Structures are given as C-alpha cells and as structure tokens.
Amino acid sequence: MIFQFRYRYRKYAGSGFTCNVCQSGYSRFIPSFPAPENAAALQRHKVIAGYGEQVICPFCRSTARERLVLAVLQDQFNLKDKLILHFAPEAPVYKYLNQEGKVITADIEPGFYRNLDKHCREENLCALSFENDLFDWVICNHVMEHIKTDSLAVEEIYRVMKPGGQALLQVPFTTSVEENIEIDNENNEVTRSPLYGQKDHVRIYALKAYLELLKAAGFILHVQYPEELKKYQQFAIQPGECVIRVQKPVNA
C-alpha cells in the first residue's frame, strides 16, 4: 500500500505548487483534457473550461476551479456567521464554508450531494423556494452553463440575496466572441458536445455577454481578471480564468 502510494505520487513530488485544500506541495498537478467529442468546440472558441496541464491535485483530487474559489474566499472575505447558499456544492469549498458560516446546500438533483451534506435540498435555481433578501452569500460554481433560462436563475439569485450580499457565479467562458454561442433549435444531447463542448451545457458564454446578463439583473460587478489572480498561481489555478463576483446593491 505504502509502496503503491509512493510510486503513484513520486512523479508529482517536489515544490512549486501547493494544494490549498490538502496543504500538500507538488512540482506539478495532474493534467485534465476534454474528451475528443468535446475538445473541438472548446479549442475552436478558446473556452476557459477547467482543462489544462495543472488541474487535479495528486493527493485530494481537488480541481483548479475549486482551488481558485477557495483561495479567493479564504484570502479576501470574512464568512464568519454568514448565511450561505451553496448550489451544486463541491466538497472542498463546502467544507470550508461550513466551518466558517451557516451553509444551505441545494441542487436540482440533490441525491448527488447527500454524501457530502445529507440535508442538501432539492431546488430549481430558476424558481427557488427561499424568501427574499435571505442570504449573505451565494456560491454557484459552474452551474449557469447548464441552465436554459439563465436570466431567470440570475434573477432568482438576486432575489434571495440580502442587500449588500455577494455571489460567486463562475462559468466557463470565451473572450474570443462577444455574443454567447447558443443555437436554439440545436439543443439536444447529441449536438451539444460538438457545439458547446459538453453534452449537458446549453451554451458557451461570451464573457462580455455573461457580465451584461448579471448587470441587467441589477448586480454590481466585481470581476477579477487573470492578472490580479496571479498571486494564487501557487495553487495551480487555471491560466485565463476570472473570478466573477457580484453584489446586490445595499439600497436594493
């Protein structure tokens, strides 16, 4: 067992990167590349979608997008006693949120998440059951690209947030076009992979269009671009990724 462990991890041993989930140090992380049926669309449109040379932690299997969200939350915000809605909860992020604040987890298919949180609620992001002005934070990491009526989801997130509340609404995106790539009558599981790079995605977001959608819902935008995120490179975050944080105005 110990021999297997050493053999498996030896090629990643060293320093240069640290996993901010399991605190281990590595010379590199495990790469992750899209399946062939998904690769063409992602490459054609240069989509920042969570793939690359340094993605998965050799020890705890955390992903680059989880480590980025965790780094930003740990480094920049005080979540003590905050009421947080964590949609489609990822384990490393959830564990941190849960130790800091009070977390309600939810998903349209909560069964996937009940090993992590047995109270994970069944919620449709486009018709949330929560009252208005409830949450200090909403964490929704790579969810919107699965939702056909994303403007409804954004309005619902806005509605359930307290005035002054904040949300992290990460999505895969491209900056190579200004309009979303979304073909209404070509939206089925067979055509989605070649069009959008994943069979359960319903569009490729143009970053510009996505930010306009968030702004149209009333949010104040606080986007951190790759240049500002260089300080988190030690956690093997994805080059080119932005942090898309929004705030409901205090006087909303």
- By CB under 5 A, residue 68 contacts Zn ion: no
Among residues 41 and 237, whose Cβ is nearest to Zn ion? 237
* Segment near Zn ion (CB under 5 A); pick from 60-68, 105-113, 123-131, 185-193: 60-68
**Residue 83 CB: number of other CB atoms within 10 A?**
15
**Residue 220 CB: number of other CB atoms within 10 A?**
15
Among residues 19 and 73, whose Cβ is nearest to Zn ion? 19
- By CB under 5 A, residue 19 contacts Zn ion: yes
| Structure-block tokens of residue 191 | 């055509």
* Segment near Zn ion (CB under 5 A); pick from 1-9, 62-70, 75-83, 127-135: 62-70
Q: What is the DSSP letter of 149?
A: T
The CA distance from 96 to 160, in Å, is 22
Binds Zn ion by CB under 5 A, chosen from 6, 8, 10, 22:
22
First to last CA, the chain: 57
HSE-up (13 A, CA, CB side) for residue 64: 28
* Segment near Zn ion (CB under 5 A); pick from 22-30, 115-123, 130-138, 232-240: 22-30
- By CB under 5 A, residue 57 contacts Zn ion: yes
- By CB under 5 A, residue 13 contacts Zn ion: no
Closest CA to 245 of 43, 106, 92, 75: 75
- By CB under 5 A, residue 64 contacts Zn ion: no
175 exposed, middle or buried (CB, 10 Å; 0-12, 13-18, 19+)? middle
Among residues 24 and 224, whose Cβ is nearest to Zn ion? 24
Binds Zn ion by CB under 5 A, chosen from 60, 83, 116, 220:
60
The residues binding Zn ion (CB under 5 A) are 19, 21-22, 57, 59-60, 62
